[in-house]
Amino acid sequence: MRFKTFASNKTHLKTLLKSKNIFNKEFCLNLFLFLSLKVICGGELTGLNGSFSSPNYPENYDSRLRCNWTITVPPEYNIRLNFIDLHTESCDDYVLIFDGKSTNSTSIATFCGNLNSMSTTYVTSSSNVMTVKFFTDGSINFRGFLAFYSVVKPRKSPLK
């Protein structure tokens, strides 16, 4: 059995398969595979601080991404997430921030468009876990984002 690839790109592959069947006759079969390739993105982030970015940053991100990052720090801390740079299609591509370990947790912020690096763009969790989701549609792509997270001590409640 032999395969010969004629053409391919990110989502399509055209190939020719040649083989001999049980009657020792050669036959050819054109295969068209339509692959829904997705960039692997997201993951588990731990430690007292760190950074992460959209795929390909600072180059343009790909279409149809669904990236999830879960940030977990020691239980005695909360998380402060700061966007150093963010440029997405307004607002068809966006970053959602959840206060907890999944996208079923409470949504605490949504960022999209072009955020000025001079602005203070941060959000703080109420626990030691935060989830970040990056969603892109199928049209216009920009450079995406660069984010930095660090630990902060929880605010103490006033005594009553």
- Which structure tokens are listed for 20? 């001999």
β-pair type (2-8, 12-20): antiparallel
Q: Please state, rounded to an integer, the average pLDDT across all residues of the chain.
A: 82
- The answer on 84 and 63 residing in a single domain is yes
- Both 97 and 81 in one domain: the answer is yes
15 and 78 part of one domain: no
Let me know whether 107 and 141 are in one domain.
Answer: yes
**Residue 4 pLDDT exceeds 60:** no
> 124 and 52, same structural domain?
yes
CA 65 to chain centre: 6
Statement: the pTM of the whole predicted model exceeds 0.75: no
Same domain, 80 and 12: no
User: Which residues span the domain enclosing 9?
Assistant: 2-34
Q: Which two tokens stand for residue 2?
A: 């032999």
pLDDT tens digits along 84-139: 999 999 889 999 999 999 999 999 999 999 987 656 678 999 999 999 999 999 99
Note whether 59 and 124 are same-domain residues: yes
Residue 59 and residue 14 in one domain: no
